[in-house]
Structure 1
Amino acid sequence: MEWSHVSPGDVISLDLSNGMLQGTIHPNTSLFHLPHLEKLNLAFNDFTASEFPNGIGRLSSILTHLNISMCGFSSQIPKDITHLHKLVSLDLSYNDFDFNLRPHAFNNLFRNFTVLEELSLQGVVISSVLPTYLNISSSLKLLDLRDTAVQGKLPRNIFKHPSLEKVYLSSNSLTGQVPWEISLLPNLVTLDLSLNDNLRIQPDVFIRFLQNSTLLKEVSLANVNTVGIQW
């Protein structure tokens, strides 16, 4: 990375992905004292067994993109992350097996991120029953909650956002029926509901979904109850 002629006040994007970084990020790190930082990418580094620090909340007034995937972070995700209300893209996926987001923080994340377009939480331990209403950004294009241990029925309002293009909800404990509102996603390209053994999709809902999703390229319903659908 070229640092010449760059002062802390000028840095708007910092990409340290695959940088062979190790150790612990301390709350007082200079990373959290860059007043104009809009994009921060720490993906594919080795912070194994360390916690992501609370200091990230200091960037709440400006940060739009945050990627800390594949970093080996463990323990609880700091609640300060829900203060990053200007985020357009957030990727916390593929960290340590106990990297977790408490249920109230999970709900606040959706409540506060009103301009979010991409959310990737694959492998983050949430272990929460989904609320009946999930306050999703109307701009959301990518929703990835694979392998997060979320439970319960799918909130109907998830599928009332025409901006959605990719939805990944596989390898969870979702139950009940896939709501008919799933057919209200005209821009959907990918849908993965696989490995939810107690989830069911009704034949008429599935047919309407296929008829209306004209941009659809990938659908995965492995281990989802599809009894009654004529193949």
Structure 2
Amino acid sequence: MMITRLHVLFCCVFVPIFLINTIVSLQFPLPEQIEILLAFKDEFPSPTCNHTVLNSWTRSTPQNSTNSFDGVVFDNKTGVVTDLHLDDACLRGTIEPNSSLFKLHHLRYLDLSYNNFYLSSFPSEFGRLANLEVLNFRYVGLVGEVPSSIQNLSRLTVLDLSNNKLRGGFPLVYNLTKLSFLDLSNNNFSGTIPSSLFTMPSLLELDLSQNHLRDRLENLNSSSSSKLKSLYLGRNLFSGRILDPISRLVKLTYLDLSFLTILNPINIVSLPLKSLEYLDLSGITLSRINTTTSDHALTNLIGLYLSSCTLVEFPEILKTLPNLQELDISNNKLKGKVPRWLWDLPLTKVSLSNNSLDGFEGSREVVLPSSLVMLDLSSNAFGGPFPILPPTIDFLIASKNNFTGDLPLSLCNPRKLTVLDLSHNSFSGPIPQCLGDIVEGILNLRHNNLNGMLPDIFCTSGSSLITLDVSKNQITGKLPRSLAKCNRLKLLNVENNMITDTFPFWLKALPLLQVIVLGSNRFYGSISSPQDDPLPFSKLQII
């Protein structure tokens, strides 16, 4: 009987109390955590931008509302703050050593990227946030050295300190055994890289590019155990001696060695990295690139980037890369015609810009492969008819060439283009009707010999045109009124044509329009605002 009564007492009293406490903990953050958040907000000047998440942090916020604190995640059971998503929150000022931030001891995720901390130093107090798993300080203006207390964050899996002005020797991060992603790029770190960094048990991606790191890497005796898949070392002060230790990182799939100060040419055929899929050797002198043998380890390459390598001909090694999809061979000294065999590769993105190429091998009407999505032919000497484009093309730049004749009708195949730049050529004839509705981003036809009227079909089928530049042509007639439907339009440039029209007040409602260039045409009439509309063109900056 006693046991039954105790059971009833437990069910009637303790269980309801437990349920009440559980429900409260699921809905209510701890008041002290709210006060810490508000104190942290008060450490900075009031944000001047409207989109910041901090606008929802107010003392009038009901204590039982976690949803009112944008960018904050509270633990469902304990009510403590676990995540702060404050990227691009318009924070400006400094993070002081006594900041309220360091009272949030249960933080697991902290993203303060894209704020402005006025050249703050990196407070050593961050080492007190021992539960942190993700720390993102990308583009925040930090200066000085990374404090040694960083090694206290033993639970970190992601650390991003990129694009700051941090300096000194290599940070003490190689004891963070759970770290899988480390980005220290675009800083001023100097000295050597400890070999233990490459044997960290969980590290998958390492970006050290654009620093002042020097030779030499220590011997990587156990590098075969490395899990590292992506390694970015570009724009440092290494020499060719780093190639031997790097070649032992057999699981690499992405390797960036661009613009290193390597004295001797790199023999890419000798790199024994069979798992490599992407290789960036831009800015480096190369050797053994004209081999036609497939007896090398790079046959799995998907992307190869050889910009600014002083190449004078297309490397024969390309023929032995059956999986190649992305090729950047811009800013070299290539002359003559693009070889026909190049289009036998399954290429999707190709950049041939800033060379001296003047045509394509093959028949007069060159048909580009159906796999092609992006093509950059700019700043060459291409002339004559334009190659026939596949319907897959999305991004096309062919500016600063010698192309003549009508704009290519193959553009009118069913498609949507994000970028179409055919500026600074000698195209003539009218602008095809189709262009007004297939370009969703940038349409640049500047400095040609185009004539006729602009087609009046812009944005009629939901197109999201951002830039329209048809300046320095021979266009006549009026501005097409369909431009008033282009709600994403930011720039309109029609200068140096023969357009005859009144000032386009009918564009006044476009919410994003920032630049209108109308000079050297035949516009007439009033340019003053109608009295009943005192605030037209809300975003306009240049006219």
Would you say same fold, with TM above 0.5?
yes
2:110 equivalent to 1:40: yes
Shift of 1:204: 5.0
167, 171, 175: which one pairs with 2:231? 167
Aligned to 2:279: 219
Are residues 201 and 180 of structure 1, via their aligned partners in 2, closer, same or farther at CA, if it must alter by over 3 Å?
farther
* 1:117-196 map, 5 Å: 117-131=180-194, 134=197, 136-157=199-220, 159-177=223-241, 178-179=243-244, 182=247, 184-186=249-251, 188-196=252-260
Distance 2:183 2:196 in 1: 19
Q: Which residue of 1 is the match for residue 145 of structure 2?
A: 76
Contact map agreement 1:203 1:226 (CA 8 A) in 2: yes
Instruction: State the identity %.
Output: 33
- Number of aligned pairs? 215
How far is the alpha carbon of 1:65 from its aligned partner?
0.7
**1: distance between equivalents of 2:160 and 2:193?**
20
1:228 and 2:288 aligned: yes
| Whole-Å separation in 2 of the counterparts to 1:146 and 1:124 | 9
Q: 1:85 is matched by which residue type in structure 2?
A: S
When normalised by structure 2's length, the TM-score is 0.37
1:119-177 C-alpha deviation (Å, 9 max, x unpaired): 00001221103345546412111100001211003445395345222110000011233
Q: How far apart, in 2, do the equivalents of 1:180 and 1:70 lie? A: 31
CA–CA distance in 2 between the matches of 1:132 and 1:159? 9
CA contact (8 A) 1:114 1:136 kept: no
SS at match of 1:160: helix
Residues 53-95 of structure 1: per-residue CA shift (max 9 Å, x gap): 12101112x1111001100112222222232122111000011
Say whether the 8 Å CA contact 2:217–2:245 is kept in structure 1.
Answer: no
Contact 2:229 2:253 in 1 (8 A): yes
- Note if contact 1:159-1:182 (Cα within 8 Å) is conserved in structure 2: no
Counterpart Cα distance in 2 of 1:58 and 1:225: 47
1:13-46 Cα offsets, whole Å, 9 max, x none, are 1111110001111112221111211111000001
More strand by share: 2
Structure 1 residues 46 and 161: CA distance shift in structure 2, 3 A: farther
Preserved CA contact (<8 Å) 2:192 2:214? yes
Task: Specify every segment of 5 or more residues in structure 1 that has no aligned partner in the other structure, as ranges.
Answer: none
CA RMSD of aligned residues (A): 2.4
The 2-side partners of 1:59 and 1:197 are apart by 39
Q: Using a 3 Å threshold, how does the CA distance of structure 1 residues 136 and 32 change in structure 2: closer, same or farther? A: farther
**Structure 1 pair 145/31, CA: closer, same or farther in 2 (3 Å)?**
same
Structure 2 unaligned runs (5+)?
A: 1-26, 34-78, 292-316, 318-543
Structure 2 CA distance, aligned partners of 1:203 and 1:84?
Answer: 39
Task: Give, in whole Å, the separation in 2 of the partners of 1:172 and 1:22.
Answer: 31
TM-score, scaled to structure 1: 0.82
Letter of the structure 1 residue corresponding to residue 92 of structure 2 = Q
Which amino acid is 1:89 matched to?
V
Q: Select the structure with the greater relative contact order (CA < 8 A; seq sep ≥ 6).
A: 1
Read off the aligned partner of 2:178 and give its amino acid letter. Answer: V
- Structure 1 residue 189 displacement after superposition: 3.0
